[in-house]
Structure 1
C-alpha cells in the first residue's frame, strides 16, 4: 500500500507516493524513523505552514533522499520546500514582498479594451510600418510606487561552496518556470551543477505575482526597478538568510530588456549579464506580435484567468505558441503542448513601453554574453547569423566593454523560446563555461 498525497505545483497536479514496507521488522523500523523525523521537523518548522513541514520531510533521509541541505525560508511568505525539476537543487518557494518606486512609468492614453476587436486592431496598429504607434499614445512620465507581492523561488546547489547567485528574469508568455520547466529542460539544474544558486520569480502581473493595473502600473520601468531591488536584496541576504557577493543577471526576451536596462542605469548591480533571446534588431517584432495573435486572457483561458482585466493579453493557441517561440524540428511536441498549457500573460502597458528601456550602457564594465536560438523570430527575424546580430549588441549597447569580456552563442535549430529546444543544454553549458572563464 502507499499514501497518496496530491498537491498542485504551478497549476499541475503532482502525486507523492510513500511506500509502506511489507515485513513487520522493516515496517516497525520505518515508522520509528518516520515518526522521529516528523517530530524533529515539526519542532523545527512549527511556525511555518503544513506544506513547509511536509516538504522538509520529503527532503530528508526518512524518505530515502540522501543528506540534503534544507534552505532557510526567511524572507518568504507561505514558504514551501521543494527540489528543482532535475533534483540538482534544494529550493524554497513562496511569496516575497518588494518595495519599489519609479518616476519613469509613463501616462498612456489608452482605455482598457472593450472587446477582442479592439485588441486585434491595436495589434495591427502596433505592427503597421510607419505608424506613429504606440509613440502617439505615450505621454509624460509619472511616479508609481508600492509594495508588490511576487511568486519566487530560491534554489541552492549541493555543498557549501556556492559561487554566487543568478537572478533569472523570464520574458513575455512564460512565468518563472521557464527556467525550471522539466527535468530535461532546466537551466536551474545546470546552474546548480556549476555551483550557482538561482533566484527566479514571476514578474509583476504574471503567475503567482499580484496583478495590478495593466495600463499605468505594469510597465517596463517599474519592472526594472523591481528586478534591481531583488538583486540588491540577494546581496544583503534578505532571502533564506544567505548573502551573495556575486550576483549575475540572466534574462530571456523581455527579461533581457530588463536586465540590460539595469546595466545601463545602475552598472554596479550585476557582476555579469547574460542576455538570451535578445538583440538590438527589432525588425522581427512585428511578425512576432502578429504570430502571437494576442487575445484577451480572460476570454481565451477563462478557467485560468477569470478575474483579470481586459488589459491582460495572451497568445491565442498552440499555433501561435509555435510561431512565436519554437522552430521545428528542434523541439519535442510534448514540450510545445506543455508550453501552451502553462502560457502566461502580457499587459498592454508592457507592450507599449518595452522598446524604450533599451539604452546604451557605456559605464558597465563587467562581462556580458548574448545567447540566442539561431532562428529567433522577434530579435533576429528568423536568422541570427545574418548580420551577426548577437555580436552587434556590444557596439550598440556596450561600446567601452573589452572584447575579452563579451561573448556570443547561437543554439542550433532553436527559436525564441530557447530553453524549450533540444539544443538548450548546449547553450546552458556555454553560459556556465563563459562565467567560469570570466572568473565568476
Structure 2
C-alpha cells in the first residue's frame, strides 16, 4: 500500500495548508455558508428494542446570495470523512463542491453524519444503517420545513459519497417520497473485496490510537485511517499532493459495525431497486475500491459500466451514469473534479434547481 512514503509526503504537505486555506474574496462574495444544528434521533444501546436518544446533527448550508433556490442538495459524506469532503479547506475555488454549486446558483446542505465532525458521537455498535437512514429522513423533514437557511425547500436531492452513498440508497428506498432525486458517487454494486480487505487491514486502526483523533474519546470500534493511508486508498496519480494532505488533516472516523451493515444492506444487496426517483451514479475511472477486475466492474467509461450497474435499478430511476477519467475513489477531490461537478449540474437541471 506504500503507506510510509505517502505518510511522509502528507506530513510535508500539511505545513503548506494554511497558505491556501482561505477562499479569495471574489470567490466568496457571491455566496454565503453557515453552520446549522438540527435535532435528530440517535440509536439506543439495543437497536430496534430501546428507544432512540436525542442527538444533534450539524451541517454546513451554502447558497447563492439573494433569493434562495427552491431545490437543495443534501450531501452525505463517506466513511472516515466528515462534511469537509464537500468543502475542502484547500483551494476551495477549485475543490469545494458546495461553493462551486452555490456559485452556479445551487443550494446545498452538507451534514456531519452521527459520530463524525461536530455532530453527536453515539456508541459505535448501535450505529447501524437503519439509524443512519433515520437521521437523514429527519434532516429531509427539517429541510422541507424551512429549518435550514430559512427556506422551505420544495425539492430535496440527496447525494452521497462512498459509504454515504450506501446509506443514501437505503434511506431513499425505505422512506419513499422523501427525496426527488438521488446521487450515488464513489460506489458500484460490487466492491473489490480483496482490495477492501487489504486496505482495511493495513489502512485502518482504532480512533483511540490515531495521533490526530485519539483524544476524541471514541469507543474501540470507531476506526480511522492510519496516517498516510488515504493517498493509496482514495486517490489516483491525478491528484494534488496538497489536496491529499488537506484530506488527511480533516479526516474522521467510522463505526466498524455500522460500515458492515452499510456494505451488506446499502451496497451489495440490490436495495437500489426500491428507489423510485431519478438516480445519478458517478465513479472515478481509477477507483481501486469499486472498479477493476477484482470488482468485476469495467469503469473505463459510462458505456462499459452501464450494463453491469443498470440491473440494480428500476425504470423509474432513469439511471444517468458518469465516469470521471483518471480519478480515484474520492472523485470530487481530483484535478479534474470540475468535470464531475459539471456532469452533476447537467443532471440536476431536470429538477429546476
- Fold-level similarity (TM above 0.5): yes
Structure 2 Cα separation of the partners of residues 306 and 222 of structure 1: 21
Q: Is the 8 A contact 1:327 1:415 kept in 2?
A: yes
RMSD of aligned Cα (Å): 2.9
- 1:48 aligns with none
- 1:343 aligns with 251
- 2:69 aligns with 162
Compute the displacement of 1:202 (Å): 0.8
Compute the displacement of 1:392 (Å): 3.5
In 2 relative to 1, CA 323–157 (structure 1 residues): closer, same or farther, beyond 3 Å? same
Structure 2 Cα separation of the partners of residues 206 and 161 of structure 1: 28
SS in 2 for 1:305: helix
Q: Is the 8 A contact 1:394 1:401 kept in 2?
A: no
Compute the displacement of 1:304 (Å): 5.0
- With normalisation by structure 1, the TM-score equals 0.67
- 1:400 aligns with 315
Structure 2 Cα separation of the partners of residues 426 and 206 of structure 1: 28
For residues 178-214 of structure 1, the C-alpha deviation after alignment (integer angstroms, 9 at most, x for no partner) is 0011311011122213322111111111111121111
Give unpaired runs (5+ residues) of structure 2.
1-16
Match of 2:346 among 428, 433, 439: 433
Compute the displacement of 1:419 (Å): 1.2
Compute the displacement of 1:355 (Å): 2.2
In 2 relative to 1, CA 157–310 (structure 1 residues): closer, same or farther, beyond 3 Å? same
Compute the displacement of 1:151 (Å): 2.4
Structure 2 Cα separation of the partners of residues 333 and 208 of structure 1: 26
- 2:3 aligns with none
For residues 38-68 of structure 1, the C-alpha deviation after alignment (integer angstroms, 9 at most, x for no partner) is xxxxxxxxxxxxxxxxxxxxxxxxxxx79xx
Match of 2:289 among 348, 368, 378: 378
Structure 2 Cα separation of the partners of residues 309 and 365 of structure 1: 38
Q: Is the 8 A contact 1:88 1:189 kept in 2?
A: no
The alignment of Structure 1 onto Structure 2 pairs a total of residues equal to 322
- With normalisation by structure 2, the TM-score equals 0.82
In 2 relative to 1, CA 91–161 (structure 1 residues): closer, same or farther, beyond 3 Å? closer
1:317 aligns with 2:233: no
For residues 72-100 of structure 1, the C-alpha deviation after alignment (integer angstroms, 9 at most, x for no partner) is xxxxxxxxxxxxx8555202214322136
For residues 323-366 of structure 1, the C-alpha deviation after alignment (integer angstroms, 9 at most, x for no partner) is 210011x1001111111122111112223211232243445432
Q: Is the 8 A contact 2:68 2:107 kept in 1?
A: no
Q: Is the 8 A contact 1:371 1:390 kept in 2?
A: no
Q: How does 1:216-235 map to 2 (within 5 A)?
A: 217-235=126-144
Give unpaired runs (5+ residues) of structure 1.
1-11, 18-64, 67-84, 108-140
1:262 aligns with 2:171: yes
In 2 relative to 1, CA 360–296 (structure 1 residues): closer, same or farther, beyond 3 Å? closer
Compute the displacement of 1:15 (Å): 12
